[in-house]
Amino acid sequence: MKNDYKDIKFQKLLNKLQQESWQLELLISGFAIFGLISSLEPIIKGLNESIILGSYNKHLFRLSLISCYVLIINLIIHVFLRGVWIGAIGLRYVSGDIDYDSLKYSKRFTNYLKNKVGSFDRYISTLENYCSVMFAITFLFLFYIISIFMILAVIILIAGSFFIESGWFSEAIGFMLLGIFAIFFLFLSLFVFIDFITQGGLKKKEWTSFLYFPLYKIFSIITLSFLYRPLVYNFLDNKFGKRLILILVPIYAFAFYISTIDNVRSNYLTKSIYSSATFSKTNNYLNSLEKNHFINTASIQSKVITDSYIKLFIPFRKKIEDNIIDQNEHLKPLEDLTGFNSNFFNKKEERDTKKDSLQHLYLKAFAKLYTIKIDNIHLNPNYIIAEINKQLGFETVISLKNIHEGQHLLKIDYSHFKRKGFFSNDKKTILNDTFVEIPFWYYKQ
């Protein structure tokens, strides 16, 4: 049966649902909070893995993580306000409205409280408004985050699929065109943002609305705002909803700023992103690898080694294979099988058989990318393909037979590792900086 939104029966149904919606709100909020908190762990794990692999999926995981935090915070606030609202209704059932005369305060305080605090029913009504608007605004903010992501996704897709990887232009021209496009696109996005923060300021005057209208229609598709536009305009035509949005935006900005504050306890003892000769990072040691974290650069079995060997693991990255193929044209595959593939037509065993013949050449080429040293002793290890904590990479075992006991430094330098130059046709820019340094202590068992 199709509902006519102008029909009286349908209007009565909406009014009834409107009064009883708080039960559904609490039910949905409870399940949503539980589901969102449960999803944080796999999202963080996927984000860490995609960062290690250098995958574009990291942007999708970041969006998902931010969205989860926004939803969790808003829904917790909503549940808290609903709890206060239910408590206020229960108290009203017991004691009714506030009787200021029974308090026997002075006339000054009695008049002040009647004006400022007012009726208890008004307090309940205000709580009801905040709860209802907070529940709706939770999903509106989620849509706003998706819109920002869509704008950034357009630039990333243009950069990845047209300018950089298509080969239609030289690298310098490609980056120049990409820069022009990004600046122009962000300039247009600025007008959309101005209209957003002014709550439709560009739509109010005839000449600005005439110029802004085509841009508005284009960005409606790019940002998917046509899906949630009724929610936006329902907020904007209500002073209470508009005021709540203006209050929440600076609160979120302040909360984000608070999250960036760190307590610096020493001018010399500071944390670092990577392990070095003076700082040890936990994800460079397999026995101290944190949950849902992956090996970033390289890892050995322990900070204190009692074995007669070091087990070294370097995780696979897409740029590693790009460099191997760039330097060894004979290893370039006839068909690129990376990405998502189905085994329905091509059996996995057949594909693996074809790879085995070139795999040992691939590993030898990988060994030439890095220079491995313990202190000042150069090493030439051989690698095999391994998987640690579901992370694919390269593994080798280094003998400590000629290494004395005490503190040492495992240093991995770029040897023949190459990358594309940013504004040069020469795609063989050699990096001579250090890849990673891992301090360790060696004592015989």
Among 81-85, 213-217, 274-278, the range scoring the smallest mean pLDDT is 274-278
pTM (predicted TM-score): 0.64
CA 93, 98, 104: angle at the middle one, nearest 5?
140
Q: How far apart are CA 380 and CA 367, in angstroms?
A: 8
Residue 327 host element (H or E): helix 318-327
CA 332, 338, 343: angle at the middle one, nearest 5?
120
Displacement of CA 392 from its chain's centroid (Å): 23
pLDDT of amino acid 355:
61
Kindly state the average pLDDT of the residues 359-367: 87
pLDDT 10s digits, 22-43: 777 788 888 888 888 888 888 8
CB 313 within 8 A of CB 299: yes
pLDDT 10s digits, 173-232: 766 777 777 788 888 888 888 887 777 778 888 888 888 888 888 888 888 888 888 877
Higher pLDDT, 396 or 274: 396
Chain length of the chain = 445
Among 182, 172, 113, 131, smallest CA distance to 19 is for 131
Q: What percent of the chain has pLDDT over 90?
A: 8
- What phi and psi values does residue 415 have, to the nearest 5 degrees? -105, -75
Kindly state the average pLDDT of the residues 375-397: 88
Of 1-10, 78-87, 257-266, give the range with the top mean pLDDT. Answer: 78-87
Q: How far apart are CA 392 and CA 405, in angstroms?
A: 32
pLDDT 10s digits, 119-155: 888 888 888 888 878 877 887 877 888 888 888 778 7
SS3 content of the chain, % helix, strand, coil (to 5): 60, 15, 30
Higher pLDDT, 214 or 432: 214
Among 428, 431, 399, 69, smallest CA distance to 256 is for 69
pLDDT of amino acid 16:
62
Among 57-71, 93-107, 383-397, 415-429, the range scoring the smallest mean pLDDT is 415-429
- What phi and psi values does residue 393 have, to the nearest 5 degrees? -175, -160
Kindly state the average pLDDT of the residues 268-281: 77
Residue found by looking up tokens 């949503």 in the block: 32
Higher pLDDT, 400 or 146: 400
Q: What single-letter DSSP state applies at residue 407? A: E
171 pLDDT band, cuts 50/70/90, is: low
pLDDT of amino acid 3:
54
Among 10-14, 129-133, 350-354, the range scoring the smallest mean pLDDT is 350-354
Q: How far apart are CA 95 and CA 87, in angstroms?
A: 12
Kindly state the average pLDDT of the residues 80-104: 83
